[in-house]
Structure 1
Amino acid sequence: MAAPLCVEVEFGGGAELLFDGVKKQVTFSGQEGPWDIQNLLVWIKKNLLKKQPELFIQGDSMRPGILVLINDSDWEQLGELDYQLWDQDSILFISTLHGG
């Protein structure tokens, strides 16, 4: 069995409203194989997202306008959905879209 994987997930810039202001330390135990951001998004949608999933996820990826930082680095530099999660990673989702 794989060792537990513990990551911190945080939402900001308005995205936190979709998650009732949650900042969450998430532990995955007993997972089969490595987890990547794609697996994490599926888990977030199923377990944390409280309303309006279309404002956070589009298809199988992030909705345009959501900045994803992994350990303070832009996920585009790290492989986006294919980035393999490591124990103690910090993932921050920030909405860059604002109403007017």
Structure 2
Amino acid sequence: MVWVYLQFSGGLETLFDNVKSHKVDIPSKKPDRTTVKSVVSYIQKKMLKKNPEMFLKGKELRPGILVLINDIDWELGGKEECIVESNDVVLFLSTLHGG
């Protein structure tokens, strides 16, 4: 199991009962390590309350959602395959705004 802090911002928190921060236990095959892909899968199955199309496109994050792991862009770590360890902070930030 991997304990991570999930944060949702930029309007994404509305998809999670308006709660911005969550501490969750992500099932993992490796002790204290998992991937962002597993985190997103967990969010989809256990946390997403409404409008999943605003967060996901199929099984992947929608374009326009920035993911930071401990304040570092996930693209630097391999996007979906980026390693997440216990006590990491994973921020999902929508960069899309209506007009």
Same fold (TM over 0.5): yes
Which residue is equivalent to 1:42?
A: 41
Which structure 1 residue ranges, 5 or more long, are not aligned? none
> Going by fraction, where is strand more abundant, 1 or 2?
2
Q: Does 1:21 align with 2:21?
A: no
Alpha-carbon distance, 1:61 to partner: 1.6
Q: TM-score, normalised by structure 2?
A: 0.89
List aligned pairs for 1:3-82, cutoff 5 A.
4-22=1-19, 23-28=21-26, 31-33=28-30, 34-82=33-81
Alpha-carbon distance, 1:28 to partner: 3.3
Following TM superposition, the consecutive aligned residue runs of length 4 or more in structure 1 with deviations greater than 4 angstroms are none
Q: Alpha carbon RMSD of aligned pairs, Å?
A: 1.3
Q: How many residue pairs were aligned?
A: 96
> Percent same amino acid at aligned positions?
44
Q: Which protein is bigger by CA-based radius of gyration?
A: 1
Q: TM-score, normalised by structure 1?
A: 0.88
Which structure 2 residue ranges, 5 or more long, are not aligned? none
